[in-house]
Structure 1
Amino acid sequence: MSRQFDDLMLGSIELFCLTAEHASFTAAAAAAGLTPAAVSRAVTRLEQRLGVRLFFRTTRQVRLTDDGRAYYQQCRQALNQLAEAERELSGQQQRPAGTLRISLPTPLGHCRILPLLPEFRRRHPEVSLDVQLSDRNVDLLAEGYDLAVRGRAQPDSSLVARKLCDAELVVVATPDYLARHGTPRTPADLAAHDCLQFLLPRNGQPVPWLFRQDGRELELPTSGAIHTREHLLCAVTLARHGAGVLQTYRFIVEDDLASGRLVELLQPYGGRSRPFSLLYPGARHMPLRLRVFIDYLLRAFGQAV
């Protein structure tokens, strides 16, 4: 059987993947200990071999083409499998090691997951963590992430979803706001109040507020003069400073409620929640570092492993 890939071509594939993950020849070169020109030549070799353009290049940006994105997903999976095969044969799978790239939603990341990471590192000091906080739904395969935590179901059937928690929702405002505008007694009363709006990253629409009333579950549209995007914590900061009424997760404001800085409203209509799940690629050979991280988070949130 003749060889399809020589050492130079395999190295070019690795450099192509680095460039895709960093969206930069310069950053990929720094990660590989090479010059940007050497990385650019390696990518050009691949493009010539394949007869397709892998990147759109400008003076300010390097971005995958559609062909490049499809090729990256296959190459990254193949390289990961090769690395895992080496680790298994060399015995490195006996202890977790390597880098985990994880994407977390902003509020749950800040309040619940980031505080858990120092203890995970103490238990597994050979595992490095590359953490991104964003409410955008990242493409795990295309962007090179090992795991994401998200609050909405994903259409990608290649991903495994594990329930992490149900996050309870509460409606809050400051005592000062309520003194000036009155206290809503029913969800319908919110029509007379300034309700802080958080717009969904995927479509720019306000998140509906969730209630229970007379045994029924309600989704109630609200309105207000201030809209926030990207980060729910922006709306929480505004609520803490008396800008209006907000429905948010209890875990974000539990200290504010305990101190009296915020007041919980509409409690007879509460009890609704939104789920958060772990998402990761379905793979026959899961890296040990990912397996122990998943188990660690599930245990920390009281879920069965």
Structure 2
Amino acid sequence: MTRHFDDLQLGSLELFCLAADHGSFTAAATEAGVTPAAVSRSVARLEERLGVRLFVRTTRQMRLSEAGQAYYQQCRQALGQLVEAQRQVTGGQVLPSGRLRISAPTPYAHHRLLPLLPRFRERYPHVQVDVHVSNRNVDFTEEHFDLAIRGREPADSRLVARRLEDAELVVVATPAYLARKGAPQVPEDLARHECIQFELASSGRSPPWSFRRDGRELEVQTQGGLTCLGDFLATTTLVRHGGGLMQAYRFTVQDALDNGELVEVLAEYGGTSRPFMLIYPQARHMPLRVRVFIDFLVAEGAQPLG
């Protein structure tokens, strides 16, 4: 049988994929335990062998070329198949390892995801986890993310979505605000209150508040002089300091409700929720580090933290 690759070339493929994952020769070298020069030489050998440029480099950034992107997808899948084959042959004794990149919105990151990561690292110490905390939707291909947590199912059919949680919504305010302005009795009363707004990056608008009345969901568009952009948790900071009323995820304000810092209003119109979904690209051969993290998060998500 004709050999198409030698050990040096297979090593070059691994370093190329690491460089593509991180968008940096230096970061790839750090993870692989080699020098940046070694990564650069490996990529140069591949480019010479293929006769194409795999990366487009500028003084500020490095990104995959169009040919490099296509080559990366095939190489990453092939390397994943090799790891899976080794895992099966050795009875599953291959340890999950490598760098895992996940994006999560601020409320879920701070109150759900981040508290779990030390436990995950104890179980899988060879997996390094990079967490991108933002409400911005990320591009899996261009930004090399493995997973994302978002509040809705993706429109892209190439992405898998698994429901982690239906997060209950609750309207809250400080006792001082309610003593000054009075408590709303029905959702329509919100028109006379200062309602803290959160502007969605995807639409540039504040979403309506959701209620349930007579078994039906009711949406109310609120108004207020305080609007937060980018970080949803900024709204809970404002409400804790008397900024007005806010509809928040219960898990982000439960501690303040328990100690009396905040008071729930319109509880009889509650019961609505919004989902949090774990999203990732469909892959025939998923890296082991991604698979174990999905299993871990889904299992832990069945037992949400307070």
**Same fold (TM > 0.5):** yes
Q: Which residue of 1 aligns with 2:139?
A: 139
Letter in 1 for 2:168: E
Any conservation in 2 of the 1:190–1:222 contact (CA below 8 Å)? yes
Q: 1:74 and 1:161 mapped to 2: Cα distance?
A: 23
Given the two structures, how large is their TM-score scaled by the length of structure 2? 0.84
What residue number does 1:13 align with? 13
Match of 2:241 in 1: 241
Counterparts in 2 of 1:225 and 1:71: CA distance versus 1, 3 Å? farther
Rounded to whole Å, the distance in 2 between the matches of 1:54 and 1:2 is 26
Alignment identity in percent? 60
Is 1:128 the counterpart of 2:127 in the alignment? Answer: yes
The offset of 1:3, in angstroms, is 4.2
Residue 121 to residue 22, structure 1, CA distance change in 2 (3 Å): closer
Q: Could you tell me which amino acid in structure 2 is paired with residue 60 of structure 1? A: R
What is aligned with 2:221?
A: 221
The answer to whether the 8 Å contact 2:87/2:94 transfers is no
Tell me how far apart the structure 2 counterparts of residues 12 and 203 of structure 1 sit (CA, whole Å): 43
**Superposition pairs of residues 167-186 of structure 1, within 5 angstroms:** 167-186=167-186
Distance 2:289 2:66 in 1: 31
1:112-127 aligned within 5 A: 112-122=112-122, 124-127=123-126
Question: How far off is 1:229 after superposition?
Answer: 2.3
Distance 1:204 1:260, change over 3 A: same
Which residue is equivalent to 1:189? 189
Q: Relative to structure 1, is the Cα distance of residues 288 and 6 closer, same or farther in structure 2, using a 3 angstrom cutoff?
A: closer
- What is the SS of the residue equivalent to 2:18? helix
3-state SS, counterpart of residue 228 of structure 1: strand
Structure 2 gap ranges (5+): none
Structure 1 alignment gaps of length 5 or more? none
Tell me, in whole angstroms, the C-alpha distance in 2 between the residues paired with 1:219 and 1:55: 48
In structure 2, distance between residues paired with 1:22 and 1:265:
47
Q: Residues 18 and 302 of structure 1: is their aligned pair in 2 closer, same or farther, counting only changes over 3 Å?
A: closer
Please list the CA deviations of residues 246-276 of structure 1 after superposition, one character each: whole Å capped at 9, or x if unmatched: 1110011011111111111221221110111
2:257: which partner in 1? 257
- Offset of residue 64 of structure 1: 3.2
Q: CA RMSD in A?
A: 2.8
Secondary structure in 1 aligned to 2:148? strand
Closer/same/farther in 2, CA of residues 68 and 202 from structure 1, 3 Å limit: farther
Q: Write the mapping of 1:199-218 to structure 2, written as runs, cut at 5 A.
A: 199-218=199-218
Q: Helix, strand or coil for the counterpart of 1:76?
A: helix
Contact kept? 2:213, 2:269, Cα under 8 Å = yes
State the match for 2:97 in structure 1.
Answer: 98
TM-aligned CA deviation for residue 166 of structure 1:
0.5
Equivalent residues of 1:73, 1:142 under 8 A apart: no
Q: How many corresponding residue pairs?
A: 301
Instruction: Please give the per-residue CA displacement for 1:79-112, whole angstroms capped at 9, x wherever unaligned.
Output: 2222222233234x24753246233332122212
Deviations 1:37-81 (A, max 9, x none): 443344344445555544332222223344433433332222222
Q: Distance in 1 between matches of 2:192 and 2:202?
A: 28
When residues 32 and 151 of structure 1 are mapped into structure 2, their CA distance, relative to the original with a 3 A threshold, is same
Once residues 139 and 88 of structure 1 are traced to their aligned partners in structure 2, the CA distance between those partners, rounded to angstroms, is: 32
Residue 166 of structure 1 aligns with an amino acid whose one-letter code is D
Shift of residue 159, structure 1, vs aligned partner:
3.0
Q: Tell me the SS of whatever aligns to 1:224.
A: coil
27 and 99 in structure 1: CA distance in 2 versus 1, 3 angstrom threshold: closer
Judged with a 3 Å threshold, the aligned counterparts in structure 2 of structure 1 residues 45 and 195 are, in CA distance, closer, same or farther, namely farther
CA distance in 1, matches of 2:223, 2:66: 39
Give the alignment of 1:59-78 within 5 angstroms: 59-78=59-78
Which residue of structure 1 aligns with residue 298 of structure 2?
Answer: 298
